[in-house]
Structure 1
Amino acid sequence: MARIAVIGAGMGAMAAAARLAVAGHQVAVYERGRTHGGGLGRFARDGFVFDTGPGLLHLPAVYRDLFVKTGKESLEQSVELFQVDPASRHVFADGTDVSLPNASRAGVVAALDTAVGPGAGERWSELVNRAREVWDATRRPLLEEPLRAERIEALGRDPYPAPPKRGLFRRAAPRTLEAAAARELKDPRLAALLESHALAYGLDPRRAPAGAAVLPYMEQTFGSWYVRGGMRGLADALYERCLARKVAFSFGAEVVRILEKDGRAAGVELADGTVAEADAVVSAVDPALVPGMLGGTAPWREGDIRPQSGSPAPGRFTVLLALRGTRPEGTVHRTVVHTPDRAGELAAVFGDGPGLRAPHPRPTVTVLRPDDPATRPDDGHEAVTLTVTVAPHGPVDWVDGTAAEEYADHVVAMAEAAVPGLRQRTLWREVRTPADTAAATGAEGGGVPAPVLAGGGGAFLRPGNATRLPGLYLAGGFAHPGGGLAHAGMSGALVAGLIVEGADWRGSQ
């Protein structure tokens, strides 16, 4: 039995901890904050309850496997998980309004043909079919295997296929998601639909490889799922599973140093001077912080993917709204209100030059309106969450409370396309910015990591789970295979496999 020290109590950290404990190891988790779950937080006030992180799960098989492998109770026995249907509603800048059914290709085709025009559904379906080829080519090396230096060159090539030959010459595959949308979807509304999946993860469609089309493929194929009572319930269930497996948690316990002995990771030192010896250390915080915990020594090998310190990912601006009035029957769980100024929004989020990143007054807004009595004091009220992808703290001063409230006014005004009379129904609101995310999770600039993607010469990969220092491993959204609820769970599985099976382990079978 080995002693394992885990830094952080986010979803990737707890996924690794539960699996390692079941394998017979003694696992201790050290979290600098006051609770578990990382970015999967919760805010409650006056009987209203809100998720402050991801609002849906798009690949539940990851957590089904985790719960099967770590205890008797399945995921569905631990939380009430159900598919939301429709999966999403989209309100485009020209007023076009379409609701897309959950995990139904034929239903999506019919809905798009009706709302956008004949042939629109088939064009979308053909693109998703090409995205399925990306999924088939990358599922194992990107999601089920540890990232190894010898695979980076191959993973730097985008597997998105060229469209079928038409005419005398075969066309090359598109280089970016933007190019795929323009060439294959034709209609700006369909392009906005495709690009909104990338933007939701903080990816710039002008630079992301065309293979990013795998994101809507995953959602359309595996469905959109919600936990009754809020997605925070998934974090609570995983925490309880860890406790049942005798994982020890210490909160308010900031790790300031990773100990080394005989050329191996040998434990951690806390801010209060406490030393906890260990046979292996799992760091589930931003890898950019790890060299500082090693006295300035970087644990990367030659050829490894390294964290991009100083270039934080985009963050999330969130407005939590307590509303008077009943949630209308038939209201869609998730609505995306698309910006009328795509170029301006992308420049504001990602920047096209120094000093250009700033809050955009008419952003793309995701509106979450769960049909969940547990989120509201009674049926005469409604809890609504608005989320916008924005530039991180640093390029934008998100500590300025007055500016944040003013920006919240813009976000609410955009959301009224989905919720008429929103301002008149508001009892109170709570605003969360990337600065709040940074304070809660320690992520640089409050950035939210995106899932890894093949292509782009490896620019969309994350640091691997094993490091140059024996006994030191990386988990969580900032490590391979990247951000998102499902991917964080996968990182925990990969780290546990490396520790239990050894450095030559090639991934789940």
Structure 2
Amino acid sequence: MARIAVIGAGMGAMAAAARLAVAGHRVAVYERTETYGGALRRLERDGFAFDTGPGLLPLPAVYRDLFVKTGKEPLEACVELVQVDPSSHHVFADGTRVSLPNASRAGVVSALEENLGADAARRWGDFLVRAREAWDRSRRPLLEEPLWPDWQVLAEREPYPAVPRRKFLRTRTAGTLAEVGAWELRDPRLIALLEGHALAYGLDPRATPASAAVLPYMEHAFGMWYVRGGLRELARAVYERCVARRVEFHFGAEVAGVVEEDGRAAGLELAGGSSVGADFVVAGVAPGVLDRLSRGTRVRGDGEVPDRRGTASRVTVALALRGGRPEGTPHRTVVHTEDREAELDSLSGASGGLPARPTVTVLRPDDPALVPDSGHEAVTVTSVVPAGAEGDREAYAGKLIAVAERAVPGLRDRLLWHEVRTPADVAGETGAEGGAVPAPALAAAGGRLLHPANTTGLTGLFTAGGWSHPGGGLPHAGMSGALVAGLIVEGPEFRGSR
């Protein structure tokens, strides 16, 4: 039995803790805040409740596997999973609207044909076939296996089978997501639909590899799910599974450093001056925090994937509305920007500041647990912004509310109150500089969108969560926990689950 100290109680760290405890190890988690869940937080006021982090769960199989491997009760016995349908409703810049059914390629193509025309539907359907091939090529090395020592193969190899495009005497294939949209999809509404999946993580499609085609494919193939009571309930269920497996939690326990002895991690030093011994340390923290905790020890060596520093965050506005949620209301509506270039320039730092005309996601859950009674509705409005961006939060909230009115008619007349969460709030909850939110790992692009391995240059120190392989997003965080547990339990020969 090994002693394992875990830094942070985010989803990836807790997933690792639960699996390691089941394997017979003694696990203790040290969390600097007063609660668990990382970005999965909840705002409660006047009988209303809102998720202030992710509001939907893709690929729930990751957490189903976690619960199967760590106890007798399956995930569905601990939370109520609901497959949202439609998966999303889209309001495009030209006013066109379309609702896309959940986990149905044929249904999506049919909906696009009805609203955008047969040619657009055919192009999207053909794109999804190619996106599936990219998924099949990249799924194992990017999600299910520890990062390869020769990770440069992933950096150089583009898994998306782009359509050759001949112009004059040259034949080219799309290398970026923007080129996939412009050359293969062509319709501006399909381009917005495609690029929105990258934009959700703050990725500029003009610089994002074509391999990001796997992001819309995952949604269409595996569906989008809601957890009754909000995604915070998923964090609660994972925390309770850890407790049931006898993982110890220490809240309000800030870690000041990783103790190193004889060239390996040997425990933690806490902010109060005390220390705890450990045979292994698992760090579920952002790169800047890891730098501080390692105190000059190089945990990422030459030739390895370097730490990625996030560039994008979120502004979230929680809206308490009078009047119940109308029947048939989509759970998620995406209102696409009317000025794509300006929004992308803002997110890439080319223009600075907050996007003037942002894409806005509106979540309207059909969930009595989130409202005081049936005569009220809880709505969450979110925009992706540059990490560290602040400005006039109330003025920006007003801008988001104005955009959201395209999805919620009469919104301002129904508004009782609102609260705003900015990158500074995200930073306070997660410790990530500027409130940055990590993106999933993607192949190609010279490795710019890969995340560093779960092993480090300091023996006995491992990393889990969105800032290490396989990157950000709830499924990826859960996968990182599985990979860390496998590497500790089975050693360097671990090659992932089969």
Same fold (TM over 0.5): yes
Q: Summarize the Cα distance change of 1:131–1:171 in structure 2 as closer, same or farther, 3 Å threshold.
A: farther
Match of 2:272 in 1: 272
Match of 2:192 in 1: 192
Residues of 2 paired with 1:173 and 1:428: CA distance? 50
Match of 1:433 in 2: 422
- How much does 1:166 deviate? 8.6
Residues of 2 paired with 1:165 and 1:36: CA distance? 49
Matched, 1:357 2:352: yes
- What are the superposed Cα offsets for residues 384-414 of structure 1, whole Å, 9 maximum, x if unpaired? 0000000111xx3x2x5xx000000000000
- How much does 1:41 deviate? 0.6
- What are the superposed Cα offsets for residues 332-372 of structure 1, whole Å, 9 maximum, x if unpaired? 000000000000111111122xxx22112321000000000
Match of 2:212 in 1: 212
Match of 2:335 in 1: 337
- How much does 1:167 deviate? 11
Aligned length: 498
Matched, 1:413 2:438: no
Q: Map 1:293-372; keep pairs closer than 5 Å.
A: 293-308=293-308, 311-352=309-350, 356-372=351-367
Residues of 1 paired with 2:232 and 2:160: CA distance? 34
- How much does 1:155 deviate? 3.5
Q: TM-score, normalized by length of structure 2?
A: 0.98
Does the CA-based 8 Å contact 1:163-1:171 persist in structure 2?
A: no
Residue 268 of structure 2 aligns to a residue in which SS?
A: strand
Match of 2:458 in 1: 469
Q: Percent identity among equivalent residues?
A: 64
Match of 1:100 in 2: 100
Q: TM-score, normalized by length of structure 1?
A: 0.96
| 94-103 or 146-155: bigger deviation | 146-155
Q: Which runs of 5+ in 1 are unaligned?
A: none
Match of 1:148 in 2: 148
- How much does 1:312 deviate? 3.2
Q: Map 1:22-61; keep pairs closer than 5 Å.
A: 22-61=22-61
Residues of 2 paired with 1:259 and 1:277: CA distance? 8
Residue 150 of structure 1 aligns to a residue in which SS?
A: coil
- What are the superposed Cα offsets for residues 50-104 of structure 1, whole Å, 9 maximum, x if unpaired? 0011111110110010000000000111100010000000000110010000011
Residues of 2 paired with 1:463 and 1:411: CA distance? 35
Residues of 2 paired with 1:205 and 1:183: CA distance? 13
Does the CA-based 8 Å contact 1:160-1:173 persist in structure 2?
A: no
Residue 172 of structure 2 aligns to a residue in which SS?
A: coil
Match of 1:452 in 2: 441
Q: Which amino acid aligns with 1:430?
A: E
Matched, 1:494 2:494: no
Residue 344 of structure 1 aligns to a residue in which SS?
A: helix
Q: Which amino acid aligns with 1:390?
A: V
- How much does 1:289 deviate? 2.2
Residue 442 of structure 2 aligns to a residue in which SS?
A: coil
Matched, 1:252 2:236: no
Residue 337 of structure 2 aligns to a residue in which SS?
A: coil
Residues of 1 paired with 2:399 and 2:214: CA distance? 31
Matched, 1:392 2:390: no
Residue 99 of structure 2 aligns to a residue in which SS?
A: strand
- How much does 1:154 deviate? 3.2
Measured on the aligned residues, the alpha-carbon RMSD in Å equals 1.4
Does the CA-based 8 Å contact 2:21-2:245 persist in structure 1?
A: yes
Does the CA-based 8 Å contact 1:164-1:170 persist in structure 2?
A: no
Q: Summarize the Cα distance change of 1:171–1:133 in structure 2 as closer, same or farther, 3 Å threshold.
A: farther
- How much does 1:128 deviate? 1.2
Q: Which amino acid aligns with 1:337?
A: V
Q: Which amino acid aligns with 1:57?
A: L
Residues of 1 paired with 2:319 and 2:356: CA distance? 19
Q: Which runs of 5+ in 2 are unaligned?
A: none
Q: Which amino acid aligns with 1:257?
A: G
- What are the superposed Cα offsets for residues 89-141 of structure 1, whole Å, 9 maximum, x if unpaired? 00001100100000111111111111112221110011111111111111100
